[in-house]
Chain A
C-alpha cells in the first residue's frame, strides 16, 4: 500500500483531474488513429464503409473508456490487477472451450453484445498483474529464484493458452511485455542473460541440426523459415503476401503515389490490407515521408510514456506505464518489421491504425491506465 507513504493531498480530485491528463499523449493517439481512418477510407476505395465508420465509432468509445479509466485513481486499478488477470484467464479458457473459430484460429468469444478477443485483453492484464506483483513484493526479494519463478508462471500460463489458439503474435507480446516489466522491476541481469543466451543457442541448434539425424524441426517448418528469409523463393505461395507487401512499400518512394493512388492496394495485390498490412498501403500512398511520420508519432507516444513513468515515484504506476509502452512498442515494431520483411508474418495489427475493435478498445483502456498513473502520481 505504498500510496499511503505519499502525500496524496496534492493529487487532484473531481473534475479538476481533467487538467492533469497527459494531453499531448491524447493528441498523439488521436493523430495516429486519424491516420488509420484515412487509410481505411483509402483501402475501401474511397468509402467510409465498411471500415472507416465503425473504426471511428470504436475510437470514440475507446476515448470515453480511456477518460473513465483515467479518472479512477491508479491504486484502485492496482487493487483490481489480480481480478483482471484472473478474469482474462477465465476468458482465455472460455475461448478454449466455447470460442468461435474464425480464419483458422480460435480467438473470439461471443458476449452477445459484442465479440471479444480475450487475448487482446490479456496483453494488458498480464502487464498490470506483474506490475502489481512487484509493487507488493519487498524490494530485497526481487531477484530471489522463487520470487522470480512466480511471475514467470503468471506470464507463461496465458502465453501457453494463447499459443494454443494459435496466435504466435500475441504470445510473443505477452512474453516480451511481461518480461520487460520483470526487467524494469529490477530482476537480476543474470536471469535475462541466461534466457537470452539459451534462446540464441536454441536457434543455432535448430539451424545446425537441419539435415542431420537429430534434426529438431520438421522439414516443412524449415521451408517456412526459408520462405521468410527469402520470400522470392516462393513468390506465388507462402512468400506471395510478403513479396507483395514489400513491393507496395518500396514503390512508395519519397512522397508516395498519392492518396488512393496505390496500385498494389487498390488492385488487391496486398493481403489483409485493412488489418495487418495496412502500413504498406500508407507507405505506398504517402511514401517515406508518410511512413516515417507515422513512425515518429509512435516514437513520441513511447517517449511520452517513458517520460511520464520516469516522473512517477510510485512503483506500480511506473511499471504499468512502462509495461504498456513496451506492449504498444511491440505492436507496431513487430507489425512494421513483418511487412518490411524483417520478421516472419505472425499476425500483429498496427496499433490504433489497423481495423479491429478489441485491439483498439484494449489499447485505449491501457492508455487510460497510463493517464490514471499520470494524473494520480505522487507529488
Chain B
C-alpha cells in the first residue's frame, strides 16, 4: 500500500505553500499586536499613566478646626471639645454581634445607636470604620482601651465637636452649628469642598452662621492610595488646612447671663449698648433653648416642644421681634416737631383726656386729661394728647425721617440671624406697600408709637443711645476677628440741636427721678449711677367705645395674648451716660411696672460690673431686691461670675 512518491512531493509542496500563507498572516497579526502595544505603551503612555494615578490616588479633605468665639472678657462661649467616639471595623471584629454585646456590657450605648451602627456596617465595606457611639466620657474610653483584647475591631477615636458652655444663655447670640444639609447646599452659593464632607458642621443660626467664613477656616488635604474596592493602602502626603479664626464678641458674658436670668419666666428681650463704641454688652431673649441640643442632633420631642411653645423660645426677641414701641416713640415725635420748628420750647397743649381729629376721638391714657401740659411734663407723665397735637403739626414724613435718623425702621447690620428692620411708616410707604393714602389718623396713632410703627428692642436701644449721646451710635457685636479690632460703633454727631436734646433728656431723667414720673418707682439712688428713661405700653388690641364707657379692662383680667406689651428704654448714668438699655416684656402689662424694673436691674449690673449694693435701690424695695438677687445668683451658672481667660 505504498503511496507513490510524487504524491508525497505534491502534498509536501501544498502544505509548504499554504504554511507560508498561514505563517505570513500570523506574523501580520503579531505585527498588529506589536503596533497596538507600541501605540498604547509608547504614544499614549502618559494618558494611561494619568488614569492609573487617578485610579489609585484619592484626595481626602482634612477639616480645619473651627474658630472659637469669646466674650469681651475672653471667656469661650463657643468652644471645641474633644469628642471621644467608639468605632468598629467589621472585618476585624469577627463575630460582630458578640463583640457588640461585650461592648455594651462595658459602656452604656443607646439601643438606637447600636441598631443604626449595625445597619451601617452591613451596608458599608467591611473595612470601613463605623461610628457606634459618640461623646463618650474619658472613663468609658479608658474602659474600652483596657478591654481591647476582648473587643477586636473596636477602637476609641478622638474628634472635635462644638460645645456651647453657657447653653441657653447665649443661644440667640452665638447660635449653633449643625451638619450641612442638602437644603443648605441648595441655598448657599459656596464652592468650599469642605461642604461636601458628610456631616460637616456649619453655622446654622446666629453668629455661628453669619461669621461662618471667618470661623470655618480652610480645608487641608491628604493624598492617599486606595485599591480597587476603596481600601486605604497608605498616605502619600498630607497638608494641614488653616484653622478658623477666633472671634471675640462685644457681649459681656456675665451681664448676658444675668440678663437672661433676670428675664426668667417672661417672654421678653433686653439689649444693652455701650455708648462709647456701640458695643452690644448683652442681647438677651427669653425664653431660650440649649444650642447643644442641635449640635448633637435634636430629638423630635425637643424640637416639637421648642416649636410649639407659645413663648417662642427659638425667636431672638431682642433683635428679631418687632413691636409697636408705644410711648417710647414719643421722643421721636417731640424731636421731629422741635427740629422742624413747629413747636416752641415752652409751648403748652391742653389735654382734656381726648383729642378729636376729623370726627374720630383719640384718647389719652389718663381719663380726665392732664390739663395744660408742656413738653417736659408730657414726656414725664406720658401724656398722649400733647403728641396727637404736635404730630399733626409736623407731619408723618418728618417724624419717619427723625425715626430713621435715630435708628428706627432701618436694619442694623449685625452678624445675627433675622435682624429685624422694623417700620418707620410714611406716606410713600403706605401708598406703595398698602396701596392706600395716608390718613391723619395714622399720623395721630404713630405719634405715640402705635398704628404702623414697629421697632425691635435693638432699635429702641440704638434710639436711646443716640438721644443720650447725640451721636450716631451703631451697634457692634464683633470686637476682634483673629485679634484685629473691628471699627468702633460711635459715629459723628447727628446734627440735632443740643438744646432740644437737652430738654428731651431732662424729661427722661424726670421720668425716673421725679416723684410724678411714670418710672419713679424704679429710680436708682446712688449718685453718679442714676438712670433716665421712658416707659411704653403698647396695645395689641382695640379698645371699643363700649369698653371705654364701661371702664377699660385691667390687663390682669385679660388672657396673656391680649395683654399690652411692656416696654422701657433707658440710659445711665444721667451725666456722661455710658449704657443704653431697651426692654420688651411681651404682654407684660404696663411699661413702668413690668419693663422698667428689668431695665434698672440690668443697667445697674452693667454699671457696677456685678451685683450693685442694695442702697442703690429705694429703701422699701430692698428686701424684695435682695431676694431676687439671691435667686438670680443661684440661677447663674458657676464660673460666669468671675472666670476670665484674657
Q: Which residues of A contact B (CB under 8 A)?
A: 1-2, 4-5, 139, 180, 183-186, 244, 246-254, 263-264, 266-269, 283, 287-288, 291-292, 295, 298-299, 302-303, 306, 309-310, 313, 315, 318-319, 322, 326, 329, 333, 336-337, 340, 342
**In the complex the two chains form, what is the Cα distance from A337 to B29 in whole Å?**
10
**In the complex the two chains form, what is the Cα distance from A269 to B231 in whole Å?**
12
Listed by A's residue number, 13 A-B pairs whose Cβ atoms lie within 8 Å are A263-B52, A267-B233, A283-B41, A288-B42, A292-B34, A295-B30, A295-B37, A299-B30, A315-B12, A318-B15, A322-B19, A340-B36, A340-B40
Asked if A250 meets B15 with Cβ closer than 8 Å, knowing A292-B37, A303-B23, A333-B30, the reply is no
Return the contact of B52 from the options A184, A247, A291, A329 (Cβ within 8 A). Answer: A247
What residue in chain B is nearest A298 (Cβ atoms)? B30
Please count how many residues in chain B sit with their CB below 8 Å of the partner chain's CB atoms.
45
Residues of A within 8 A of B22 (CB): 180, 183-184, 306, 322, 326
Which listed segment binds A: B43-51, B345-353, B457-465?
Answer: B43-51
Say yes or no for B149: interface residue by CB 8 A criterion.
no
Return the contact of A267 from the options B2, B27, B40, B55 (Cβ within 8 A). Answer: B55
Q: Does B225 contact A2, Cβ atoms closer than 8 Å?
A: no
Residues of B within 8 A of A329 (CB): 26, 29
The listed residue with most A CB atoms (<10 A of its CB), out of B15, B33, B55, is: B15
Q: Does A252 contact B30, Cβ atoms closer than 8 Å?
A: no
Which listed segment binds A: B3-11, B294-302, B503-511, B602-610?
Answer: B3-11
Q: Which residues of B contact A (CB under 8 A)?
A: 1-3, 5, 7-8, 10-12, 14-16, 18-19, 22-23, 26-27, 29-30, 32-34, 36-38, 40-42, 44-45, 47-49, 51-53, 55-56, 225-229, 233
Q: Does A291 contact B41, Cβ atoms closer than 8 Å?
A: yes
Asked if A254 meets B11 with Cβ closer than 8 Å, knowing A269-B227, A292-B37, the reply is no
Besides A249-B37, A250-B44, 5 other CB < 8 A contacts? A266-B227, A269-B227, A292-B34, A295-B34, A333-B26
Q: Does B48 contact A250, Cβ atoms closer than 8 Å?
A: yes
Q: Name the distance in Å between B290's Cβ and chain A's nearest Cβ.
A: 46
Asked if A5 meets B37 with Cβ closer than 8 Å, knowing A249-B48, A302-B23, the reply is no
Q: Does B8 contact A315, Cβ atoms closer than 8 Å?
A: yes
What residue in chain A is nearest B18 (Cβ atoms)? A184
- The 4 tightest CB contacts between A and B, nearest first, are A250-B48, A267-B227, A253-B45, A251-B52
Return the contact of B38 from the options A247, A288, A310, A337 (Cβ within 8 A). Answer: A288
Q: Name the distance in Å between B351's Cβ and chain A's nearest Cβ.
A: 85
**In the complex the two chains form, what is the Cα distance from A248 to B26 in whole Å?**
26
Q: Name the distance in Å between A85's Cβ and chain B's nearest Cβ.
A: 21
Q: Does B3 contact A2, Cβ atoms closer than 8 Å?
A: yes
Q: Name the distance in Å between B15's Cβ and chain A's nearest Cβ.
A: 5
What residue in chain A is nearest B48 (Cβ atoms)? A250
**In the complex the two chains form, what is the Cα distance from A122 to B45 in whole Å?**
39
Residues of B within 8 A of A1 (CB): 1
Residues of A within 8 A of B5 (CB): 5
**In the complex the two chains form, what is the Cα distance from A376 to B2 in whole Å?**
19
Q: Does B11 contact A251, Cβ atoms closer than 8 Å?
A: no
Q: Does A186 contact B41, Cβ atoms closer than 8 Å?
A: no
Q: Does A322 contact B15, Cβ atoms closer than 8 Å?
A: yes
Asked if A251 meets B49 with Cβ closer than 8 Å, knowing A184-B18, A283-B41, the reply is yes
Q: Does A186 contact B15, Cβ atoms closer than 8 Å?
A: yes
The listed residue with most B CB atoms (<10 A of its CB), out of A4, A5, A287, is: A5
Asked if A251 meets B23 with Cβ closer than 8 Å, knowing A268-B227, A336-B33, the reply is no
Asked if A340 meets B37 with Cβ closer than 8 Å, knowing A248-B52, A263-B56, the reply is yes
Q: Name the distance in Å between B8's Cβ and chain A's nearest Cβ.
A: 6
Q: Does B55 contact A269, Cβ atoms closer than 8 Å?
A: yes
What residue in chain A is nearest B24 (Cβ atoms)? A306
Return the contact of B11 from the options A249, A292, A315 (Cβ within 8 A). Answer: A315
Q: Does B228 contact A267, Cβ atoms closer than 8 Å?
A: yes
Q: Name the distance in Å between A115's Cβ and chain B's nearest Cβ.
A: 28
**In the complex the two chains form, what is the Cα distance from A292 to B35 in whole Å?**
10
Q: Does B40 contact A2, Cβ atoms closer than 8 Å?
A: no
Return the contact of A288 from the options B2, B37, B55, B225 (Cβ within 8 A). Answer: B37
What residue in chain B is nearest A323 (Cβ atoms)? B22
Q: Name the distance in Å between A206's Cβ and chain B's nearest Cβ.
A: 23
Residues of A within 8 A of B26 (CB): 302, 326, 329, 333
**In the complex the two chains form, what is the Cα distance from A238 to B45 in whole Å?**
24
Q: Does B30 contact A185, Cβ atoms closer than 8 Å?
A: no
**In the complex the two chains form, what is the Cα distance from A303 to B14 in whole Å?**
18
Residues of B within 8 A of A322 (CB): 15, 19, 22
Q: Does A254 contact B48, Cβ atoms closer than 8 Å?
A: no
Q: Does B15 contact A254, Cβ atoms closer than 8 Å?
A: no
Q: Name the distance in Å between A314's Cβ and chain B's nearest Cβ.
A: 8
Q: Does A250 contact B41, Cβ atoms closer than 8 Å?
A: yes
What residue in chain B is nearest A252 (Cβ atoms)? B41
Return the contact of B45 from the options A252, A266, A306, A340 (Cβ within 8 A). Answer: A252
Q: Name the distance in Å between B226's Cβ and chain A's nearest Cβ.
A: 7
Asked if A264 meets B11 with Cβ closer than 8 Å, knowing A249-B40, A310-B16, the reply is no
Q: Does B45 contact A251, Cβ atoms closer than 8 Å?
A: yes
**In the complex the two chains form, what is the Cα distance from A253 to B52 in whole Å?**
12
**In the complex the two chains form, what is the Cα distance from A329 to B19 in whole Å?**
13
**In the complex the two chains form, what is the Cα distance from A132 to B276 in whole Å?**
113
Residues of A within 8 A of B15 (CB): 184-186, 309, 315, 318-319, 322
**In the complex the two chains form, what is the Cα distance from A246 to B45 in whole Å?**
10
**In the complex the two chains form, what is the Cα distance from A251 to B14 in whole Å?**
45
Residues of A within 8 A of B228 (CB): 244, 267-269
Residues of B within 8 A of A291 (CB): 37, 41
Q: Name the distance in Å between B499's Cβ and chain A's nearest Cβ.
A: 82
Q: Does B3 contact A264, Cβ atoms closer than 8 Å?
A: no
Residues of B within 8 A of A180 (CB): 22
**In the complex the two chains form, what is the Cα distance from A82 to B14 in whole Å?**
24
What residue in chain B is nearest A135 (Cβ atoms)? B11
